[in-house]
Amino acid sequence: TGKCYHTFRGHSAEIVCLSFNPQSTLLATGSMDTTAKLWDLEKGEEVATLSGHSAEIIALSFNTTGDRIITGSFDHTVAVWDVATGRLLHTLIGHRGEISSAQFNWDCSLIVTGSMDKTCMLWNAVTGTHIATLAGHRKEVLDVCFDYAGQRIATASADGSARVYNAETKQCIAKLEGHEDEISKVS
């Protein structure tokens, strides 16, 4: 129908990323104001403000069960949040550059992060511990994702290439080259 159901106001700066939870009951927004907010879609009200980053949030993603959300920031960290309480569970520290993207795998056991530091990192989603650093790109990693089985990780880079890694062995299994400029998204 094209009808606008709600207008969400509350951030003090631009919203740069957003995502629905898998149940389509919540909308998460990430902002240049260093916060993320969770919004109730039925009521049109703010449910929680996720505060803890010291720079803008430019990536966020729910896990497949909708009980966790991750936020990636220009402060070089990724935060793991409990959706029900809005509580910070883990801060993933290790990248030396701004976070460009972050995603859970399908069974919610792993998190992959991409960064302007030219690396991709793999994390235990339950404990927040670092598992591996996947290197090889010559320029910034602009996007990362898991395949649906959670067995492979794909990366897109400003160096004009994409790579595919085996999530178990952490080895690069494919280098996809041929674009003349940066690759901004991978799926």
Task: List, in order, residues 6 or more apart from 19 with CB less than 8 Å away.
Answer: 27, 28, 60, 61, 62, 69
Q: Give residue 49's pLDDT band: very low, low, confident or very high (50, 70, 90).
A: very high
Q: Provide the b/e sequence for 58-86 (b: ≥16 CB within 10 Å).
A: bbbbbbeebebbbbbbbbbbbbbbebeeb
- The domain defined by 12-93 folds into Thrombin, subunit H (2.40.10)
How does pLDDT run across 50-91, given as a tens digit for each residue? 999 999 999 999 999 999 999 999 999 999 999 999 999 999
> Across the beta sheet with 57-62, what order do the strands follow?
57-62, 68-73, 77-82, 88-93
User: What residue spans in the chain does CATH classification 2.40.10.480 cover?
Assistant: 98-186
Secondary element (H or E) of residue 15: strand 15-20
CA dist 41 and 143 (Å) reads 27
Say what the pLDDT of residue 113 is: 98
Average pLDDT over residues 27-37: 98
Write 109-115 long-range contacts (CB < 8 A, 24+): 109/150, 110/146, 110/150, 110/167, 111/70, 111/78, 111/80, 112/144, 112/145, 112/146, 112/153, 113/72, 113/78, 113/144, 114/141, 114/142, 114/143, 114/144, 114/155, 114/156, 115/76, 115/140, 115/141
Considering the domain 98-186 in this protein, what is its CATH number? 2.40.10.480
Q: What is the pTM of this model?
A: 0.95
